[in-house]
Amino acid sequence: MKTILLLMISIMLSTSLSAKTFVYCSEGSPSAFNPQITTDGTSNNASAHTVYNRLVDFKYGTTEIKASLATSWKVSKDKKIYLFNLRKGVKFHTTKYFAPTRNFNADDVLFSFNRQKDKKHAYHLVGGGHYEYFNAMDMGNLIKEIKKVNDFQVKITLTKPEAPFLANMAMSFMGILSKEYADQLQKENKKERIDNFPVGTGPYIFKSYKKDTLIRFTKNKDYFESRPKIDKLVFSITPDPSVRYQKLKTGECHLIIEPAPADVASMKKNIKLKVLEGAGLNVGYLAMNVKKKPFDNVNVRKAINLALNRQAYIDAIYLGNAKIAKNPLPPTIWSYDKNIKPFEFNVKKAKSLLTKAGFANGFKTELWTLPVTRPYNPNGKKMGEMMQADLAKIGIKVKLISYDWPTYLAKSRKGEHTMIQLGWTGDNGDPDNFLNVLLGCTSVKAGSNVSKWCNKDFNKLITRAKTITSQKERTKLYKTAQRVFRKEVPWAPIAHSTIYRAMSKNVIGYKIDPLGGDIFRAVDLK
Amino acid sequence: MLKIFLGKLLNLIPTLIGISILSFILIRLVPGDPVLLLLGERGADPAVYAEMQKSLGLDLPIHQQYFNFVYNVFHGDLGQSIISKRPVATEFFDRFPATLELGFTALLFAFTCGIPIGIFAAVKRNSFWDYFLMGGSLLGYSMPIFWWGLVLILIFSVQLGLTPVAGRMSVLFEVETWSGFLLIDSLKQEVIAEDGFEPFLSALKHLILPSIAMGTIPLAVMARMTRSSMLEVLGEDYIRTAKAKGLSEYHVITRHALRNALIPIITVAGLMFGSIITGAILTETIFSWPGIGKWLVASINARDYPVIQGGVLFIATMIVLINAIVDVLYIYANPKLRT
């Protein structure tokens, strides 16, 4: 009996987290350890932000571009040629499966980009040959040629001037892999390992991965920027959000991925925890299909904008964790027009606009509600019900409809809807990534412009802004574009959600990434 | 006996065909397209979509997909996961020891508590203890695992700080798996030499709550089953004779009553194995236990067809096989059924 008692006591008292092991509780397993072939945040956190660097990176906690593996770059007068000067003395990781014999150079850049661009590249078909982000950002068509000038200079020629190009270069999928490692794997006939046993130049070295359980990293002592302060970084995969929260409370995690909105208030009250908040780079909106009657009438669209009680949605659906939207751009992005007036909530005015449009008795229509939970819209169905009640007040009888997520996306791309809830989280902090992707004329055909609104003035402005590199001039054009949007209102912008991160009180140096990632290169434990 | 067993095995064939068709069709009836899920929400080019659909073999008519699946199964190939690109069988065996370890401890908990509770309730029939224990077991049987798991975490981990919330072992220890059972692997000489018994204790500590959560329903079933079986036996003439002979109460219960009462419990024990798998799906998700339950849930969410159909077929085969063995054991234990 005594032995059992002693054993029980020792079980209860055993193990606590050591000082320099940082445990991050993530929500799922990465699909691979190569950001070239993954698109989800879970995978990017486990590879792009830990193991890899890009030629340029986003400054920690911002969407500003800074030098990384390239120390500087020059842009030609016609804005089509970018000459990157590469950093010298950067070491690739030494792991159990690879020991580099040389430092980072231009060959690695060419290897990393050509794998995605060149269909005949020895590694192009490895891992399926699908480079979703590279294609989605149209990099294949945009980059005409990548040339090695010398070991530390790379020249990239574009097919046309494209201002967001540098921001695209800072995105996860442009991570630099080791060519020497790729050659070694090719010799060993193990090419597919490149996507699951990563070798990069980033702040942490991949150590091991046990699917659905843990990912282990150790610090890169040779990191070219400031050396990481924690020795071991562990991703503890915990899919259930309430369990993640309990693990945070008991000290089994130092930081957890996006907490459930309902838990934020109690987290803030807990003296052992701290909650950081930042404005999300996103927008949730109700798009109206202008190709379908009566939404081709601008007065109908304006009436709908006036009839929606946005504050009520923020309180009930976002639980106060969001800001009312007035523009298609989030306020965190440069060129956001602060001076545009917020939308009024005015039922009387909405009714008179509807009468002016010839719908004094309202009309019947459909509203598609978002079937998934997203930061920009945590509960599409509930929001749909609230919108339904608001629109009924001006005589619009709305039928709520929803589909499973892939069907919802596929059908909306084809324009089968009338009114639809959707949203967007920015990829690279460039206004073009919102205005062109969501409202540009080319996106009508591509499908991502679900309002099917193609306005010549608006399109001219955003197309021109793409060809100019001066941020000041681009800002002017984007501000004018936002005014055109406001006049035409193809959407009812609803909200920009707030990003929260909950962590133990002893976590220092962590910054919220506006692009939604979790980055630990400057994190430490008190 | 061998004839009976072979007969049982023959009966398995139609069952497995039925299961393979069901698992194949059901997941395809669930809305959601694995190709669209793989391509993400950033927009899929129709050409890329078609190419990926073809590479996964999902462009073929459904009956052809099914025949390909069956053909491959007969060649020992359960397919390849769409997500991880690894063979389903490899993925399965990577995780199965974790589920078995949890399942065994949960059943151990269920048997060691359930049988004594059942005996006690039967002996104290219609007393306060009988009502209390049977009421408790009814409650245990009715509690949803996901809710019960969270309650256990809240009480024992968050409030009392006695057990870890989730996972299989503290992240501080890195134990190379050899048997797949962490309780065994953590007792390897090199592990003990480096960290002493700490990894073993950590693994044990992590097993407590999920075992209770998973073992509660089997415990309730065992207790109720043992009670009714015991009551039936206790009313038999030979028990009265044994008592009349002057044997002690203890002797009568353990030697004469329990032995016979245990026969129907063997069948229940077999069925329990099935409940381990269903229980694992919920328990492993709540406690982040890296077994096949959590794996199946993740695969269903990702519409990873090969994993779901291969995994379900594998699990079903095992359950059906174990039930066949239990049936044979039952016949062996009960001579009356041999004719």
Q: Taking a contact as any Cβ pair under 8 Å apart, which residues of chain A between 127 and 166 contact chain B?
A: 127-128, 130, 132-133, 135-136
Give the sign of the dihedral formed by CA A68, CA A73, CA A78, CA A80: negative
A215 Cα to chain B: minimum distance (Å) = 10
The pair of three-digit structure tokens given for residue A337, joined into one six-digit string: 């027009």
Q: How is chain B split into domains, by residue range?
A: 1-83+313-339, 97-301
Peptide bond into A294 cis (omega under 30): yes
Label residue B161 left, alpha or beta by phi (over 0 means left) and psi (-120 to 50 means alpha).
Answer: left
User: How far is residue A80's CA from residue A64's CA, in Å, rounded to a whole number?
Assistant: 21
The DSSP call for residue A43 is: H
A395 Cα to chain B: minimum distance (Å) = 34
Let me know: does A199 contact A182? Beta carbons within 8 Å.
no
Q: pLDDT tens digits for B241-271?
A: 988 888 888 888 888 888 888 877 777 777 7
Using a CB-CB cut-off of 8 Å, the residues of chain A touching B161 are 250
Share of chain B above pLDDT 90, in %: 21
Predicted local distance difference test score (pLDDT) of residue A434: 94
Let me know: does B306 contact B34? Beta carbons within 8 Å.
no
Predicted local distance difference test score (pLDDT) of residue A404: 73
- B171–A447: do the CB atoms touch at under 8 Å? no
pLDDT by 10s per residue, chain A, length 526? 455 555 555 444 444 444 589 999 998 888 889 999 887 778 889 999 999 999 999 999 888 899 999 999 999 988 899 999 999 999 999 999 999 999 999 999 999 999 999 999 999 988 777 787 887 778 888 999 999 999 999 999 999 999 899 999 999 999 999 999 999 999 999 998 999 999 999 999 999 998 878 999 999 999 999 899 999 999 998 887 888 998 999 999 999 987 887 788 889 999 999 999 888 899 999 999 999 999 999 999 999 999 999 999 999 998 888 999 999 999 989 999 999 999 999 999 999 999 999 999 999 999 999 987 788 888 899 999 999 999 999 999 999 998 877 678 878 888 999 999 999 988 888 999 999 989 999 888 878 899 999 999 999 999 999 888 888 999 999 999 999 999 999 999 999 998 889 999 999 999 998 888 899 999 999 8
Tell me which H or E stretch contains A422: strand A419-425
Predicted local distance difference test score (pLDDT) of residue A14: 45
Q: SS3 letters for A443-509?
A: HHHHCCCCCCCCCHHHHHHHHHHHCCCCHHHHHHHHHHHHHHHHHHCCEEEEEEEEEEEEEECCEEC
CB-based contact, A193 to chain B, within 8 Å: no
The pair of three-digit structure tokens given for residue B84, joined into one six-digit string: 């991880």
Using a CB-CB cut-off of 8 Å, the residues of chain A touching B171 are 17, 21, 23, 214, 234, 236
Predicted local distance difference test score (pLDDT) of residue B46: 67
CA distances from A325 to A186, A193, A322, A333, B285 (A): 51, 45, 9, 13, 37
Q: SS3 for A388?
A: helix
Say which residues have a Cβ less than 8 Å from residue A492's Cβ, sequence separation at least 6.
A285, A286, A288, A301, A304, A305, A308, A343
Predicted local distance difference test score (pLDDT) of residue B252: 86
User: How far is residue A301's CA from residue A166's CA, in Å, rounded to a whole number?
Assistant: 36
Q: What angle do CA B57, B61, B66 make, to 5 degrees?
A: 70
Let me know: does A168 contact B74? Beta carbons within 8 Å.
no
Predicted local distance difference test score (pLDDT) of residue B338: 62
Q: Helices B198-234 and B258-286 sit at what angle, rounded to 10 degrees?
A: 140
Q: How is chain A split into domains, by residue range?
A: 20-250+506-525, 282-497
Alpha helices in A251-400 (DSSP H): 261-269, 298-307, 310-316, 347-356, 380-392
Label residue A349 left, alpha or beta by phi (over 0 means left) and psi (-120 to 50 means alpha).
Answer: alpha
Q: pLDDT tens digits for B122-170?
A: 989 899 999 999 999 999 889 888 899 999 999 999 889 899 998 898 8
Predicted local distance difference test score (pLDDT) of residue B45: 63
Give the sign of the dihedral formed by CA A41, CA A46, CA A50, CA A54: negative
Let me know: does B323 contact B316? Beta carbons within 8 Å.
no
Predicted local distance difference test score (pLDDT) of residue A11: 47
B95: closest CA among B109, B75, B81, B108?
B81
Q: Taking a contact as any Cβ pair under 8 Å apart, which residues of chain A between 194 and 223 contact chain B?
A: 208, 210-214, 216
Q: SS3 for A286?
A: strand
CB atoms within 10 A of CB A483: 16
Give the sign of the dihedral formed by CA A340, CA A342, CA A343, CA A344: negative
Say which residues have a Cβ less than 8 Å from residue B243's Cβ, sequence separation at least 6.
B252
Q: Which CATH superfamily is domain B97-301 in?
A: MetI-like (1.10.3720.10)
Tell me the pLDDT band of B39, cut-offs 50, 70 and 90: low
Tell me whether residue A312 is exposed, middle or buried, using C-beta atoms within 10 angstroms of its C-beta: 0 to 12, 13 to 18, 19 or more: middle
Q: SS3 for A139?
A: helix
Predicted local distance difference test score (pLDDT) of residue A506: 93
The pair of three-digit structure tokens given for residue A107, joined into one six-digit string: 């060959």
Label residue A212 left, alpha or beta by phi (over 0 means left) and psi (-120 to 50 means alpha).
Answer: left
User: Is the confidence at residue B85, as pLDDT, over 90?
Assistant: no
Across chain B, which distance is largest between two alpha carbons, in Å?
86
Let me know: does A494 contact A512? Beta carbons within 8 Å.
no
Q: SS3 letters for chain B?
A: CHHHHHHHHHHHHHHHHHHHHHHHHHHHHCCCCHHHHHHCCCCCCHHHHHHHHHHCCCCCCHHHHHHHHHHHHHCCCCCECCCCCCEHHHHHHHHHHHHHHHHHHHHHHHHHHHHHHHHHHHHCCCCHHHHHHHHHHHHHHHCCHHHHHHHHHHHHHHHCCCCCCCCCCCCCCCCCCCCCCHHHHCCCHHHHHHHCCHHHHHHHHHHHHHHHHHHHHHHHHHHHHHHHHHHHHHCCHHHHHHHHCCCCHHHHHHHHHHHHHHHHHHHHHHHHHHHHHHHHHHHHHHCCCCCHHHHHHHHHHCCCHHHHHHHHHHHHHHHHHHHHHHHHHHHHHCHHHHC
- B288–A135: do the CB atoms touch at under 8 Å? no
CB-based contact, A62 to chain B, within 8 Å: no
Q: SS3 for A283?
A: strand
Which residue of B288, B296, B303, B305 is the best one to mutate when testing the A interface, meaning the one whose CB has the most A CBs within 10 A? B288
A325: closest CA among A488, A495, A497?
A495
User: How far is residue A496's CA from residue A349's CA, in Å, rounded to a whole number?
Assistant: 25
More confident residue, B58 or A432: A432
Q: SS3 for A130?
A: coil
Let me know: does A131 contact A116? Beta carbons within 8 Å.
yes
Check if the interface score ipTM surpasses 0.85: no
pTM score of the predicted model? 0.79
Let me know: does A466 contact A433? Beta carbons within 8 Å.
no
Rg (CA), chain A: 25
Let me know: does A392 contact A398? Beta carbons within 8 Å.
yes
CB atoms within 10 A of CB A108: 25
A29: closest CA among A38, A21, A20?
A38
User: Is the confidence at residue B40, as pLDDT, over 70?
Assistant: no
A485 Cα to chain B: minimum distance (Å) = 23
Domain A20-250+506-525: give its CATH code. Answer: 3.90.76.10
User: How far is residue B254's CA from residue A343's CA, in Å, rounded to a whole number?
Assistant: 80
- A238–B166: do the CB atoms touch at under 8 Å? yes
Domain A282-497: give its CATH code. Answer: 3.10.105.10
Say which residues have a Cβ less than 8 Å from residue B187's Cβ, sequence separation at least 6.
B200
Predicted local distance difference test score (pLDDT) of residue A16: 43
CB-based contact, A23 to chain B, within 8 Å: yes
Q: Taking a contact as any Cβ pair under 8 Å apart, which residues of chain B between 179 and 198 contact chain A?
A: 198
A319: closest CA among A492, A498, A514, A493?
A498
The partner residue sitting opposite B165, judged by closest CB among A212, A250, A409, is A250
The pair of three-digit structure tokens given for residue A218, joined into one six-digit string: 């150790």
CB-based contact, B85 to chain A, within 8 Å: yes
CB atoms within 10 A of CB A72: 10
The pair of three-digit structure tokens given for residue A295, joined into one six-digit string: 């939404």
Residue with tokens 């449009």: A357
Give the sign of the dihedral formed by CA A182, CA A183, CA A184, CA A185: positive
Let me know: does A523 contact A510? Beta carbons within 8 Å.
yes
- B32–A406: do the CB atoms touch at under 8 Å? yes
B104: closest CA among B218, B258, B259?
B218
- Taken as a whole, chain B contains a residue count of 339
B83 Cα to chain A: minimum distance (Å) = 6
Q: Taking a contact as any Cβ pair under 8 Å apart, which residues of chain A between 252 and 291 contact chain B?
A: 252
CA distances from A265 to A244, A258, A279, A500, B157 (A): 16, 14, 17, 11, 21
Q: pLDDT tens digits for B294-322?
A: 888 888 877 888 888 888 888 888 888 88
